Amino acid sequence: MEERECPSEVLRKLPVYGEVREFVLKVSRESVALPRSVKKRALVKYRRRIDKISSYLIRNLLEPLQTTRKLLQVGFYNKIASNTLPSGLPATELVDKLLGKLDVVRRLSREYRSKLSVSFDVVESRELYREYVGRVLSVVRRASKYLELLNKAIVELRKVPCVDLSLPVVAVAGMPQVGKSTLVSAISTAKPRSSPFPFTTKEIVLGHVNYKFMEMQILDLPGILDRPPEDMNEVERKAFVAVTELSDLVLFLVDPSEDFYYGFEPQLSLLKSLKKWVGVDVLIVVNKVDKVSSKRLELVSRAIGEVAPGVEILKISALKRIGLEELVDAVVKHLKAFRGESPQHDY
Show me where the domains of the chain are located.
4-158, 167-345
* Residue 77 scores a pLDDT above 80: yes
**Separation CA 72–CA 66 (nearest Å):** 10
pLDDT of residue 37: 61
Alpha carbon of 65 to those of 99, 120, 150: distances in Å?
7, 38, 10
Identify the H or E element spanning 215: strand 214-220
Per-residue pLDDT reduced to its tens digit, 289-330: 999 999 999 999 999 999 999 889 999 999 999 999 999 999
Q: For the segment 247-287, what is each residue's pLDDT rounded down to a tens digit?
A: 999 999 999 999 999 999 999 999 999 999 999 999 999 99
Whole-number Å distance between alpha carbons of 34 and 314: 76
Class of the CATH-defined domain 4-158: mainly alpha
DSSP 322: B
Instruction: Tell me the pLDDT band of 152, cut-offs 50, 70 and 90.
Output: very high
Which band of pLDDT confidence, cut at 50, 70 and 90, is reported for residue 1? very low
Q: Which helix (H) or strand (E) holds 4?
A: strand 4-5
The reported pLDDT for the residue numbered 39 is: 61
Q: Is the Cβ–Cβ distance between 226 and 233 less than 8 Å?
A: no
Cα 37 to Cα 41, 52, 118, 124: the distances in Å are 9, 22, 19, 22
Q: Are 215 and 167 in contact (CB under 8 A)?
A: yes
How high is the pLDDT of residue 151? 97
Residue 308: name the closest of 339, 334, 281, 335 by CA.
281
Angle between helices 17-29 and 41-57 (to 10 degrees): 160
Please determine, for residue 206, whether its predicted confidence score (pLDDT) is greater than 50.
yes
11 in Cβ contact with 158 (< 8 Å): yes
Mean pLDDT, to the nearest integer, of 142-166?
A: 94
Residue 94 has pLDDT above 90, yes or no: yes
Q: Which residues contact 35 (CB under 8 A, 6 or more apart)?
A: none
Q: What is the pTM of this model?
A: 0.84
Query: Top-level CATH class of 167-345?
Result: alpha beta
pLDDT at 199 exceeding the cut of 70: no
Higher pLDDT, 5 or 21: 21
Contact 177, 291 (CB under 8 A): no
Amino acid letter, residue 269 = S
pLDDT score, position 2: 53
Q: 3-class DSSP state for residue 170?
A: strand
